[in-house]
Structure 1
Amino acid sequence: MPDLAERMNLLVTKARQLVKDRQLVAVRRGERNVLSVPAAFIDGDQVLKGLPGTITLLADNKYTDEEALRWMFTPDETLPGTPVQALRENRGTEVRRRAQALGF
């Protein structure tokens, strides 16, 4: 979280609030069980455009944070690439359409 806060020019408490508010997804990793947010979720010093809406759709479809992260980074031949790559390429509508369809 300190790295995230520094990259986004925020206090650590504000960075943690982004996770609580479901603007970002974080999981615990490593030996020290550190709360981590993928660097790909940040664009400059902002949350990646379209990510919060995608996170909401995945949560609405009962995805855990770990499952949501796995889905975001799993290649999809029909996109092409991963959902997070598509968001970075401003193809968020298609990513959200796919996330929404997971519930059906």
Structure 2
Amino acid sequence: MSDVPLSEADLDALVHDWLTWDQAAEALGVTPAKVRTMIKDHELAGAVPKPGAGPRVPADFIQDGLVVKGLPGLLTLLHDRHFDDRECIAWIYTDDDLPGRPIDALRENRGSEVKRRAQVLGY
């Protein structure tokens, strides 16, 4: 993994496709207010990827009209380890201890290996 702290990671370089809250709401079939609630409840994570962009959600977090299986549990686990949303997104897109990025493992229904890796963070 890079020597750059997760809090300082360039999210715009890590995440190639971002959705506005309106676009995320449309993809999930909910309202933008529900997307905001989902972010607050750690079902989704959102961040401002670059100055002036406004808050966004990584497009990879939504698959087939649903939040990617295992993502809410992973986000809760990371938040319990005092990660903020920016750090969660950076870890999900950069942790190279797995075969591939954690987001790829989640999208391929290999979430248990991602959660195991996240559980040992900080120890």
The runs of 4+ residues in structure 1 deviating greater than 4 Å are: none
2:18 alignment partner in structure 1: none
Per-residue CA deviation, residues 11-31 of structure 1 (Å, 9 max, x unaligned), is 111111111111000002344
Mapped partners of 1:54, 1:30: distance in 2: 24
Give identity over the alignment, percent. Answer: 45
Aligned counterpart for 1:20 among listed residues 16, 40, 45: 40
- Give the TM-score, by structure 2 length: 0.78
1:97 alignment partner in structure 2: 116
2:26 alignment partner in structure 1: 6
Quote how far apart the aligned CAs of 1:75 are.
4.7
Counterpart amino acid of residue 80 in structure 1: P
Higher relative contact order, chain-length normalized (CA < 8 Å, sep 6+): 2
1:70 aligns with 2:90: yes
1:79 alignment partner in structure 2: 98
Counterpart amino acid of residue 27 in structure 1: A
Mapped partners of 2:78, 2:38: distance in 1: 17
- Give the TM-score, by structure 1 length: 0.91
Mapped partners of 2:83, 2:50: distance in 1: 22
Q: Which runs of 5+ in 1 are unaligned?
A: none
Paired positions, count: 103
1:54 aligns with 2:74: yes
Counterpart amino acid of residue 66 in structure 2: Q
Counterpart amino acid of residue 91 in structure 1: R
Alignment RMSD (CA, Å) = 1.3
